[in-house]
Structure 1
Amino acid sequence: MSHPKEAVGMAFDLSLMRHASEQSWRAVRKMAQTFQPGLRESEASTLAMEILRDLGMERIWHPVHVRFGANTVKTFKQKSEGDPVLGEDDIYFIDIGTVFQGHEGDVGATFTTGSDPGKAACAAAAKALFDDVRGVWAERGLSGPALYDYAAQRAEAMGWVLNLDIQGHRVGDFPHAIHRGGDLGEFEGTPQAGVWVLEIQIADRDGRYGAFHEDVLI
């Protein structure tokens, strides 16, 4: 890596970063198949950990976050309000930070139950915006601040509000924290593949619910 904030350990392997991401997505898909209306948020988090262990996760590097309903507008550092039950026409997201073969996965996605059109649109918009910004990163090599400026403009044009308190971060071979890479949204260089997570969190204009999507830029 050419920039000190992108430093990695001797064990770093891009193919293993890809593997960690793929295993993490496998876990998220299994969770989404398992979570059903009537489940409490706390119960979903417990189930999530069971699924991760079954898939051979070595450890988590950040706590599992499952957010239901109105809690989907909360950031990673904010606590959920109460212990809500997943409803029949609801929205929720899953955010996991896992270690597979010594490398860190960090993925998140939003799902809905039932057929509420606004919530379905919100979930789809978070994924679409993520894909849009990732495409700009791959094609134009924008800096971290430029990527999030672009994301905010696109979110506004799409009719959603981007939460700019969430601006991505470093990952790598465990533990990435020793390299002190900071947030993607503050990184002035061109982000290199395999060491930065792009995070997108949006909400409807009234702040009733939100959606989240993240993955390692590879």
Structure 2
Amino acid sequence: MNEAEQQRAAYLQDAQNKAVQLFEEIEQMLIRPGVSEKTLSDEIHKLGTERHGVRTHWHKRVVRSGPNTLRPFEDNPPDRVIGEDDIVYVDLGPVFEAWEADFARTFVLGDDPNKKRLRDSLEPVWNTVKTRYHKNPDMTGEQLYDIACEEARNAGWEFGAWLAGHLVGQFPHERIPRDKTVLYITKGNDQSMGSPGKDGNKRHWILEIHLRDNFNNVAAFYEQLLTVG
């Protein structure tokens, strides 16, 4: 990797490190029962602006709880108050000094063992999929999507989304029109994930793990950088 590529990777890693810190504060200070998803989203926006200098998000803030966790990213479900024994996920795309992060974590309130098991499956599945990717980084987006679905099933869940990740980069990164599946980790993407972008630079990817518990009608979500770190 040349010096310019190393610098780009370092910027993306730095943006994610800042997102990690932001999410730690979200968990410690804001996640709680009795607050609505919209109010929590507004509080997260304020926290990011005041404590972390986040002025821009490259995609909408997503805060989902309970049955709303089953709804796809594109939906805007009715606002819902978070309950005492609830599951909540937060998905943010903050821009730090012109570099994008895309980061999601799932939180469980209370002591429901099923929700905890679902949440606790996320990171191991993510790591297994990442390991399999790095054995063949030139695989297609469809191949990696199939791997993500397989590993979700191996963990006892259903994969809960039509994609398992996407490109990420300097803001605003290469736009992702709906018909360009080659920019997603999804069915129909027969292009090598290792192929360079239009500018000749290495492309960097986010890996998303969506786990769906159909028996209890909830889902969990975890995402972060695949190609850096």
Same fold (TM over 0.5): yes
Pair 1:162–1:96, CA change in 2 (3 A): same
Match of 1:103 in 2: 99
Deviation, 1:84, is: 1.5
Equivalent residue for 2:143, pick from 142, 146, 161: 146
2:87 counterpart of 1:91: yes
Indicate conservation of the 8 Å contact 2:65/2:89, yes or no.
Answer: yes
Indicate conservation of the 8 Å contact 1:159/1:205, yes or no.
Answer: no
Indicate conservation of the 8 Å contact 1:17/1:194, yes or no.
Answer: no
Indicate conservation of the 8 Å contact 2:140/2:190, yes or no.
Answer: yes
Equivalent residue for 1:121, pick from 117, 122, 127: 117
Q: TM-score, normalised by structure 1?
A: 0.87
Secondary structure, aligned partner of 1:173: coil
Give me the identity figure in percent. 29
Structure 1 gap segments, 5+ residues each: 2-8
Match of 1:184 in 2: 185
Match of 1:6 in 2: none
Match of 2:9 in 1: 14
Pair 1:19–1:43, CA change in 2 (3 A): same
How many residue pairs match? The answer is 209
| Range with bigger deviation, 97-106 or 182-191 | 182-191
Pair 1:46–1:156, CA change in 2 (3 A): same
Q: TM-score, normalised by structure 2?
A: 0.83
Distance in 1 between the 2:58 and 2:210 partners? 20
Distance in 2 between the 1:102 and 1:58 partners? 10
Structure 2 gap segments, 5+ residues each: 196-201
Secondary structure, aligned partner of 2:162: coil
Distance in 2 between the 1:182 and 1:94 partners? 23
Indicate conservation of the 8 Å contact 1:88/1:114, yes or no.
Answer: yes
Equivalences for residues 71-90 of structure 1 within 5 A: 71-80=68-77, 82-90=78-86
Match of 1:24 in 2: 19
Deviation, 1:65, is: 0.4
Deviations 1:97-146 (A, max 9, x none): 01111110000010101100010111111222111111212233233221
2:58 counterpart of 1:66: no
Distance in 1 between the 2:116 and 2:203 partners? 30
